[in-house]
Amino acid sequence: MIWNVDPVLFQIGPLMIRYYSILFSLSFFIGYNIIRSVFKREGKPESDLATLLTYMMVGTIAGARLGHCLFYDPGYYLSNPHKMLMVWKGGLASHGGAIGILTALFIYARRCPDQPYLWLLDRMVIVVALAGLLIRLGNFFNSEILGIPTDVPWAVIFDRIDDTPRHPAQLYESIAYGTIFVGLYGLYIRLEARTPRGLLFGLFLVSAFGFRFLIEFVKERQAAYGADLALGVGQLLSIPLLILGIALLARALRPGFSEPDSVE
């Protein structure tokens, strides 16, 4: 398959509307409506949703940008700190986004005692998985985050980059996130109040960063350093989140643990 799609959907004067931007925005729009249905379902004040959305947007974008700058090219950005603010030039990292979301929701939960931290995380990871699906599709449209060369039948030639058949690593991740989204949302709808707190969050961490760890083996290294390391930066960053997920699952599934995921 040869992929040669213009990443710009349309242009109005100097303003370029990219597929990536639309898919990124769509993740917040759909995610907002899913969380609104969760709040209605569990009797939470919908008046809190605008504040929650603001925290999520700031945490996601700030964390993802700082993560890209500090995890993948620290030498350059620490020498040119003003360029960290140039989000429009590209460069967002999912691990940084994860840290930003964890931080933002912690601050939000301190303001809203009826929405404890783990209660929020168990629900927000549902829409985070959906966002991962859409954002990786955006990366595919941008012909970025490329896979390594391969001769598998489904290899993709990103014609705007070179003529080398590659693993469509973006699609692998998109499919993985989509599967996680369906699984988590289905489990939430089925169990809801009977779900031990931390179970969905733990499942997300183990599945999302487990997939990420494996898919990194067929992705080109993105960091500006560490080419001689056995594992890539994305894999090294995934390990602590995997460990946290396993610990949460062990806690939620241990015999006698009965803390429900619902909040009165």
| pLDDT tens for each residue of the chain, 264 residues long | 999 999 999 988 888 899 999 999 999 999 999 999 999 998 899 899 999 999 999 999 999 999 889 888 888 889 988 888 888 777 888 889 899 999 999 999 999 988 999 999 999 999 999 999 999 999 999 999 999 999 999 999 999 999 999 999 999 999 999 999 999 999 999 987 677 889 999 999 999 999 999 999 999 987 767 677 888 888 999 999 999 999 999 998 887 665 655 554
Range of the domain at 176: 2-43+116-253
Do the domain assignments include residue 193?
yes
Do the domain assignments include residue 26?
yes
State the pLDDT at residue 192: 73
Do the domain assignments include residue 261?
no
State the pLDDT at residue 228: 78
Do the domain assignments include residue 51?
no
State the pLDDT at residue 264: 44
Handedness of CA 111, 87, 141, 148 (dihedral sign): negative
Do the domain assignments include residue 162?
yes
Do the domain assignments include residue 102?
no
Do the domain assignments include residue 74?
no
* Number of domains observed in the structure of the chain: 1
Do the domain assignments include residue 79?
no
